[in-house]
Amino acid sequence: MGPTCSFSFFSLSVPSGTATSSVFSPPLITTNSKLKITNSALPTTPLVYRSYILSRFCSVSVKGTMADDHSSSMAGRNVDAAHSTNVLDIYPLNHYYFASKEALPFKEETLTQRIERLKLNYNTHGLRTCVQAVLLVELSKHPHLLLLQVRNSMLKLPGGRVRPGESEIECLRRKLSSNLSAREDDSWEVGECLGMWWRPNFETVIYPFMPPDIKWPKECTKVFLVRLPESRKFIVPKNLKLLAVPLCEVHDNFKTYGRIIAGVPQLLSKFSYNTPDTD
């Protein structure tokens, strides 16, 4: 039987712009004047996998327990193999800094209004193409996927719609800058396309293949690997939350994360993960 995850939560707030090293330094389960956490609700396993919410106050929600099934895959990597295209360098979460910026405007529309808008765009521009980014960090010797949460409900990979005349790479860099940077940033290292998903109609059903009876799909979503540097600042709009979610939780969990996000661990299965020694 495969691994399972169960969850419990707490949150912790620190001033905006604080380095994660001051938040995520061991021990993570502590007792202090503002926060009282005990391990009585947690199973006595050698390692606890967690999901983190990195909001404008670097609020942290911790959830999840799982046996250390894959810890060996994160250790003892051959440094010379890091140059292989199938070896993915990921860096610890505490190498990154998080702050906030002004909120992004969102369209307030009903489902019917959204479908009508998509139909109008399709009649004007044809197939709608979207791009999304897979960004990974390391925590507890396990890769974590960075996700954006909209309105405290919907979860998505960073990205968005390609504008007419815009390349997919240009669009992804623009969207990453809008969602995760203080200003326009061309330094995002956009890598290979990991997979493509197709929407045959204007509804929510999406497939990792083109249905054989569909000649004119309405949307194509391409998922790209974006390799993070050893350190950088993430500047997140106030009306979005940035989450770091363990791959073990995301895998095949389409009811919570949707089909694209739930399929990311399989898209990454050809990679070995390497955490470089940066001391």
Give the rounded percent of residues in the chain with a pLDDT score beyond 90.
52
Of 151, 154, 158, nearest to 178 by C-alpha is 158
Max mean pLDDT among 16-25, 55-64, 211-220 falls in 211-220
Q: Which residues contact 80 (CB under 8 A, 6 or more apart)?
A: none
Handedness of CA 267, 69, 4, 59 (dihedral sign): negative
**26-35, 162-171, 187-196, range with the lowest pLDDT:** 26-35
> 272-274 and 87-89: which strand pairing?
parallel
- Joined tokens for residue 220: 């194509």
Give me the residues paired with residue 199 across strands.
Answer: 219
pTM for this model (two decimals):
0.72
Q: Per-residue pLDDT for 202 more than 80?
A: yes
Sign of CA dihedral 51, 53, 58, 59: negative
Residues with Cβ < 8 Å from 63, sequence gap 6 or more? 7, 8, 9, 50, 51
Instruction: Supply 51's token pair.
Output: 């999901």
Do 234 and 160 meet the contact criterion of CB atoms below 8 Å apart?
Answer: no
What value does the mean pLDDT of the chain take? 76
Question: How would you classify residue 27: left for phi > 0, otherwise alpha for psi between -120 and 50, otherwise beta?
Answer: beta
pLDDT tens-digit series, residues 83-124: 457 899 999 999 999 999 999 887 777 888 888 888 898 898
